[in-house]
């Protein structure tokens, strides 16, 4: 393996409230997406997700089941673990890189997310059936009218 190879580990959360809504953030770079981010050195996945959700939304969460793992095999390689979470406290307010934060019904949340892989992450979690979904993908080269496209080439349910 090349010494300059980099593996980024990240987390994302499908945060639900008592009314069955999903918490999304809007960023300048990606638009609407799930809260989450990079796991820092020496940090475990659960602590990283709790930190990221709080930094981006001002909310505290209880992290539940692992719902899915996605791996981008491009450079740099990125692996994101997506967990089901329950909102425990805090009123949503934008923080860090977030421009907006809001609660949305499942269908509205899926429609707001325009990044193909992020949308798949949410759909997998919403359809969670006590089985973790693993997906491997890579970005397709070429001009796609200003929108990145991805090839999903591995799907595994365990």
Q: What is the pLDDT of residues 119-142, one digit of tens each?
A: 999 999 999 878 888 988 888 887
The predicted pLDDT at position 157 comes to: 83
Give domain limits for the chain: 7-157
Greater model confidence, 3 or 30: 30
Most confident residue range from 71-85, 100-114, 121-135: 100-114
Q: How far apart are CA 64 and CA 52, in angstroms?
A: 15
The predicted pLDDT at position 93 comes to: 96
The predicted pLDDT at position 128 comes to: 82
Which superfamily, per CATH, for 7-157?
Nucleoside Triphosphate Pyrophosphohydrolase (3.90.79.10)
Mean per-residue pLDDT, 36-45 = 96
Q: Smallest Cα–Cα separation from 31: which of 97, 84, 93, 91?
A: 97
The predicted pLDDT at position 76 comes to: 85
Q: Smallest Cα–Cα separation from 36: which of 71, 102, 66, 80?
A: 80
φ, ψ for residue 29 (rounded to 5)? -80, -45
Reply yes or no on whether the pLDDT at 5 is more than 70: no
Q: Smallest Cα–Cα separation from 125: which of 67, 70, 80?
A: 67
Return the minimum-mean-pLDDT range out of 24-38, 56-70, 121-135: 121-135
Could you give the percent of the chain with pLDDT greater than 90? Answer: 71
The predicted pLDDT at position 125 comes to: 94
Burial 9-37 (b: 16+ CB within 10 A, else e): ebbbbbbbeeeebbbbbbeeeeebbbbbb
As a whole number, the mean pLDDT across the chain is 91
Mean per-residue pLDDT, 7-28 = 96
The predicted pLDDT at position 1 comes to: 39
């Amino acid at each position: 393996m090349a010494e300059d190879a980099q593996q980024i580990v990240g987390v994302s959360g499908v945060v639900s409230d008592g009314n069955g809504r999903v918490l999304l953030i809007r960023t300048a770079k990606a638009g609407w997406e799930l809260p989450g981010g990079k796991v820092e050195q020496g940090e475990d996945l659960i602590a990283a997700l709790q930190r990221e959700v709080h930094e981006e939304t001002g909310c505290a969460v209880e992290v539940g089941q692992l719902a899915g793992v996605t791996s981008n095999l491009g450079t740099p390689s990125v692996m994101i673990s997506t967990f089901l979470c329950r909102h425990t406290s805090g009123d949503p307010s934008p923080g860090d890189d977030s421009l907006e934060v809001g609660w949305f019904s499942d269908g509205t949340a899926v429609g707001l997310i325009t990044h193909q892989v992020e949308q798949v992450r949410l759909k997998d979690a919403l359809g969670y059936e006590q089985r973790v979904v693993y997906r491997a993908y890579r970005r397709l080269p070429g001009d796609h009218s200003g929108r990145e496209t991805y090839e999903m080439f591995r799907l595994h349910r365990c």
